[in-house]
Chain A
Amino acid sequence: AQSVSQHNHHVILSEAASLELGCNYSYGGTVNLFWYVQYPGQHLQLLLKYFSGDPLVKGIKGFEAEFIKSKFSFNLRKPSVQWSDTAEYFCASGGSARQLTFGSGTQLTVLP
């Protein structure tokens, strides 16, 4: 069975700090990898996705993620966070959309 691990449950940063959220997946076959963001009281929105090609993926709002196959990782990064980035971030993986498995989420709090 697939699983996705997000080891950081809550991250607190000051504005302009750099961000890296960890995500590890376990799946032996082809994977799709996603990062979703859930702003307070809102639905999940797709930040970025990877399914093939360049392992460094650029997403919306200045986010990027790097797929490292040897480490089964797909960490999310942003060089300089803003207060508006405060949200819950979910990593997800799947061999197809139907098999999408989410991690437990990381709450990011950015202090002004």
Chain B
Amino acid sequence: DTAVSQTPKYLVTQMGNDKSIKCEQNLGHDTMYWYKQDSKKFLKIMFSYNNKELIINETVPNRFSPKSPDKAHLNLHINSLELGDSAVYFCASSQGDEVGQPQHFGDGTRLSIL
């Protein structure tokens, strides 16, 4: 069984469009994350969220917004897509944010902007 699943795996779209990436985890974790991995493989945290608090990386444009319908889901909405948004986006989850808790990652969504 897939622990953290993301859909779609690939997403090709044009500049200016609005798109969403879905993420679901079946691990019973209470904290979920979104990361962006650029063309140089550098991973950068975008958001972390649990049922109490959303923490946003201040460098993330407000065109990006996380939406969590329930504890097992954290979807990523992107408005007015730009060329620089092309990257691989990884969802992850962990049990709380106590010291030492590892994060479990999804397979990633490769977003390409034309």
Question: What is the bound-complex CA distance between A38 and B108, given in angstroms?
Answer: 11
Q: How many residues of A contact B (CB 8 A)?
A: 25
Q: Is B94 among interface residues, defined by CB-CB distance under 8 A?
A: yes
1/0 contact string of A84-99 vs chain B (CB within 8 Å): 0000101000011110
Contact assessment for B44 and A102 in the assembled complex, using a CB-CB cutoff below 8 Å: yes
Q: Is the CB of B90 within 8 A of A51?
A: no
A42 contact set on B, CB distance < 8 A: 107
Alpha-carbon separation in the docked complex, A97 to B29 (Å): 12
C-alpha spacing A107/B55, complex, angstroms: 30
Q: Which residue of B lies closest to A31 (CB)?
A: B99
- Measured CB to CB, the nearest residue on chain A to B108 is A43
Give the residue of A30, A45, A104 whose beta carbon is less than 8 angstroms from that of B42: A104
Instruction: Tell me the bound Cα distance from A95 to B100 in angstroms.
Output: 9
Known contacts: A96-B97, A97-B98, A98-B97. The answer to whether A43 contacts B106 by CB under 8 A is yes
Judged by a CB distance under 8 angstroms, whether A100 is at the interface is yes
Interface residues of B (CB under 8 A from A): 4, 31, 33, 35, 40-45, 48, 55, 90, 92, 94, 96-108
